[in-house]
Amino acid sequence: MPTLLRMAVPMHAEEVSSNSKNQLLSSTLGKLLLTVRSSDQVEELLHSVEHHPTLLDSDNEHQIPRAILAHAMNLLLLQDLLQRVPEGQIYVQEKVAGGDKVVFDHGALRTVCWDNQALPSGYKAFSRILEPLGFEMAGEYPLSKLKMCGFVYCHSDLPQSISQFFVSELYPQEFSEPFQAAVDRIVSTSVDPLQPSHMALLDRLSTQGWLTPTESSELLPVLVGCFDRQHSEPYWNDYQTLLKESAEMAWISTEGNAFNHGTDRVEDLNRLDAEQRALGRPMKPVIEVAQNANILQTAYRATMVNRQFKTADGLETHEVPGSFFEFIQRNDIKCDRGNTQMDLRFDSRNAQGIFTMTRKADSPL
């Protein structure tokens, strides 16, 4: 009996798109995100960012590996950043409309090395979160001009596919006494969003490498909430005191530990820079190039935002720099036996240049 051959019938674009959406939403990652965001928000987020196939696994319904939980947190942090940075959101929308996706390279945040606060001092407030999720400290980058240091965390499971963290730490002890007093008044009002029950889940995650869906959906929004301002509104006079010596600490006083910036990894930064300038976007004046020439970075200037400040008469509102969106090009480096791999390192000089994006355009610093 002759074999009957079934001819493949091409699917319409709408059907392909619908199947793709359903596949993403039904993945373990999609289901986890749906516990904390609407289906429209999750669909938009999943279609805007590149994902390693492992992160779209849907086979295990009872265990959520640390890599998927980490990636879900990173996606939500990127979404939060884009909601606060309209220029970045427009860029992402344009990229997706052109048939491309964001390669989320890293997110950056700032901390303060100071003991008189509810949070662990400096970067340790986030190492307790990142390490159970599978991140390892991959390098320290002195930011001497800023009296800070950057600590980079890279995911041990999928280092190229799960966005890294650049956690910077500022040292008030290296500034004047009035500056230190202002820092103390601000951070001493902080609260710790992580309760003992959350720390217990992080301990379990650190030990076994996974959590149940229920545990993950409980922990995920709390982790995202850690990347926010945990202290109360600063006094306007304190803000002015900080601004005279450190634009970075002044920024922390209003924005706290929120993502300072999120970064798209691109193949040709010079071309992107020219394209964005032609569109009239608020680009950094020059591209930062690492000393080894492997890493190129540029960014939009920070979005200006309105924040409230305490005064003797109550609260008043002032416009200050918020967060921004960054772009990075990572070239390959030669490894043993002639192999190459992507250079996932950072560069202190580049970082200090990028940090200027959160200063006002007319700032003398």
Sign, CA torsion 156/195/227/49: positive
Q: Does domain 18-358 have CATH number 3.30.70.140?
A: no
pLDDT tens column, 136-193: 999 999 999 999 999 999 999 999 999 999 999 999 999 999 999 999 999 999 999 9
pLDDT tens column, 220-231: 999 999 999 999
- The pLDDT, as a whole number, for residue 361 is 62
Pairing of strands 148-155, 261-265: unpaired
| CA-based max dimension of the chain | 93
Among 15-29, 238-252, 306-320, name the one with the lowest average pLDDT.
15-29
Extents of the domains making up the chain: 18-358
Locate all alpha helices (DSSP H) within 10-65, ordered by sequence. Answer: 13-26, 28-34, 39-48
* AA identity, residue 181: A
Q: What is the DSSP letter of 174?
A: G
pLDDT for residue 4 is more than 70: no
Residue 301 C-alpha from the chain's centroid: 16
How many Cα atoms are found within 13 Å in the side-chain-facing hemisphere of 364?
Answer: 3
Pairing of strands 340-342, 295-299: unpaired
Give, rounded to a whole angstrom, the gap between the first and last alpha carbons of the chain: 84
Pairing of strands 104-112, 261-265: antiparallel
Percent of the chain having pLDDT more than 90? 86
Are 185 and 116 in contact by the 8 Å Cβ rule? The answer is: no
Give the E-state strand segments of 253-323 in sequence order: 261-265, 288-289, 295-299, 304-311, 314-321
Write out the two tokens for 268: 């040709």
- Mean per-residue pLDDT of the chain: 92
Are 350 and 329 in contact by the 8 Å Cβ rule? The answer is: no
